[in-house]
Structure 1
């Protein structure tokens, strides 16, 4: 029976991995997988750019309307939440592409105009559309040498060069999407929802800005989840299918919308106390990685580039920690910081922290909604307050449910978990102990995932997968397939 199960699992992986677009060559006993598929379009770059421009333009038009109506407070906060993340995004793109040491005055000028994402998107599209038409100089020289020897220049060399260029743009825009989502869109959504409730009327442009910011936050949360999977399982080539994306979208939308609504409702009743709640959350998640780092007695120079001084390293890590704290204020970040590690990310799947986060967050939301119910103003006399409270709690419970469904059925690396949601719930509900629990702990649980594609590389133990599925990936192809493109 175990042999049949293993055969089904191996067949499942091999069926999901497209083999028609790859060729395998053996040399000195080493298997080489060559991907001959077309260059993938940079859809994630385009999507991040469209969200950035849409939110920036809508916020600017809304600020002009606030100026006409003399709403100085709303205008000031809207401008702040519009310009601060835009400025940080320009610095991020400039740092990743190393433009300060290059002669590119037009690009730097557009960055000063806060149009850096637009020119980067145009660069990515230009690289994509010219792929296969114009060769790189070193490729042309190599082709001449190959022709002299009577050999044929493989097309994969040019495709690989283009993919590496596009990978730089994709990685840069993944980070800018997270920055835009949690340093700009999240406070912007909270502000506009608070202004709508306080002014007691719905402005169409304000509603449009709230919809755009909610889409941006959801996309940023999805990027966080996929980046966490990519970093934690860096030795595997992972493809998420449409059910996994749908499950994550519902999970993130419900979680973020419920959290923002609870904070806004609480602020309308107890405005000064919400500042205390926000500062406690922000400071706790900001100092938590630093406390763990100091407990480990690590060195700051080990985690960041060698060119940085200790002051520069500290500044970069503080900004990184601030972004991490802002993410955890509204939703689960899916990653844990570890400054003693070279990649600054803890690779372990810590189920205890995940459970503690959602339990504490559920209790906190419940307390915020309860306090709002007892101290609400007369404006809500036409609203069924008990029904609204129950709806918010149900929505957050549904978010937790979809999170559990994702980790149980749709996580791409589900079969690599030693314990999963099903095992934890079975242990808690049935109180299984003794030899039966120890026997289950020694073997891997059955796979429930149908949304994964994994290819093992030589550094990982080969016994995790079947022998026919242990082909290593092409060198350099270590990036997780783009989120929306795979969907």
Structure 2
């Protein structure tokens, strides 16, 4: 309303766009996941058109949850997971109710990510820019920025957890409170410093920030497609059986758009493989992670330095060098908490072929030449028989030695 009263068409257009686009994509995502287009559910489709899809989905999930356990039902499928702590395989029976609830839960996670990076992140950027330009802070706007920051942090946290669950699908993953704490601090500082850097740069060089944002978005959007074309792969089959080649390409473009929007502001924690049916490359490397954070730190440094030299007179009462140092230190602290998470708090750190300490030692000393890649997540045994799962190899080795000893005694008696 304030933009409409002041005839600020540009800001009002940006605000409406970043409200409607994620809302429409959320409805399409919920419809796509639950496959409502091929079923006779006109009321649900009508509610999606009214932007009430999340409400009806939440109500449906609650009804299924409270009705669970009243009628005994046979299991639909079996799930086998490996427990890293006890070193044995667990077999779980998954019923129809549990499977439906899991579908709803995964749908809400995806919609949370879409809302965070296509809706909340642009809104936080616009509101912070408007606050700096107007030179005062409204209480309503401050509350809105806090809510959007919480939403973005939650979306980034969901991305990290989903990446772990996808990468280590055959392992029962449990995160400790210390892991969540590290991830929250890591993601909050990373997103806050990134948004603040972009906003400060836009106040000094307004039109250039559009070029910076467009280059970031286009680079991360076309990066998976360039790797796809370099490998000469074909479009992933099994994305949706009812879709044609064109429909599959549209879905993959939307998926890479979300991937690009996440990487513009923070690390997405996954690598796309458009030729794979699961669309995710499970062999995540330390090299891609190091390149991303090194390049992002350098970009933030360049942007905040340009702001320092081209800033307006409004910042003459602000200690600009202190602001630059605080932003750089804040991003460095975010990277530090990320390293702490992978070194000490990652639930599957015993499966790493190399950990953070090994990578830093390799970079500093240049003594090793092996590629710094994670162990294949399909192989649940740690290297060299270490860790809880290494007890199996130890027992097998002991049995072999005892059998050889018995054979030797038999030969001597003969």
- Same fold flag (TM > 0.5): yes
Alignment match, 1:334:
269
Count residues in correspondence: 370
Moved more, 192-201 or 69-78: 69-78
Let me know the Cα RMSD of the aligned residues: 2.5
Q: Alpha-carbon deviations, 1:12-54, whole Å to 9, x = none?
A: xxxxxxxxxxxxxxxxxxxxxxxxxxxxxxxxxxxxxxxxxxx
Alignment match, 2:243:
308
Alignment equivalent of 1:394, drawn from 321, 325, 329: 329
Task: Report the Cα offset of residue 378 of structure 1.
Answer: 0.9
Alignment equivalent of 1:206, drawn from 127, 131, 141: 141
Alignment match, 2:41:
104
Contact 1:303 1:341 in 2 (8 A): no
Task: Report the Cα offset of residue 69 of structure 1.
Answer: 4.4
Task: Report the Cα offset of residue 209 of structure 1.
Answer: 1.6
Question: Does 1:365 pair with 2:300?
Answer: yes
Moved more, 102-111 or 346-355: 102-111
Structure with greater contact order relative to length (CA < 8 Å, sep ≥ 6): 1
After superposition, residues 320-359 of structure 1 pair within 5 angstroms as 320-359=255-294
Moved more, 323-332 or 69-78: 69-78
Alignment equivalent of 1:173, drawn from 108, 112, 127: 108
Contact 1:303 1:344 in 2 (8 A): no
Contact 2:123 2:148 in 1 (8 A): yes
Distance, in Å, in 1 between the alignment partners of 2:359 and 2:381 is 25
Alignment match, 2:27:
90
After superposition, residues 459-478 of structure 1 pair within 5 angstroms as 460=380, 465-466=389-390
Question: Does 1:417 pair with 2:345?
Answer: no
Q: Secondary structure at the match of 1:300?
A: coil
Q: Secondary structure at the match of 1:211?
A: helix
Alignment match, 2:222:
287
Distance, in Å, in 2 between the alignment partners of 1:129 and 1:208 is 35
Alignment match, 1:76:
13
After superposition, residues 103-252 of structure 1 pair within 5 angstroms as 103-134=40-71, 160-252=95-187
Task: Report the Cα offset of residue 340 of structure 1.
Answer: 1.5
Task: Report the Cα offset of residue 205 of structure 1.
Answer: 1.7
Uncovered stretches (5+) of structure 1, i.e. residues with no partner: 1-63, 140-155, 446-455, 470-487
Alignment equivalent of 1:429, drawn from 347, 364, 367: 364
Q: Secondary structure at the match of 2:217?
A: helix
Task: Report the Cα offset of residue 384 of structure 1.
Answer: 0.9
Q: Alpha-carbon deviations, 1:361-393, whole Å to 9, x = none?
A: 001000100000111011111111111110000
Distance, in Å, in 1 between the alignment partners of 2:330 and 2:346 is 22
Alignment match, 1:380:
315
Alignment match, 1:270:
205
Task: Report the Cα offset of residue 460 of structure 1.
Answer: 4.9
Alignment equivalent of 1:260, drawn from 195, 199, 217: 195
Uncovered stretches (5+) of structure 2, i.e. residues with no partner: 76-91, 394-414
Distance, in Å, in 1 between the alignment partners of 2:66 and 2:36 is 23
Task: Report the Cα offset of residue 429 of structure 1.
Answer: 3.2
Task: Report the Cα offset of residue 135 of structure 1.
Answer: 5.0
Q: Secondary structure at the match of 2:70?
A: coil
Task: Report the Cα offset of residue 302 of structure 1.
Answer: 3.0
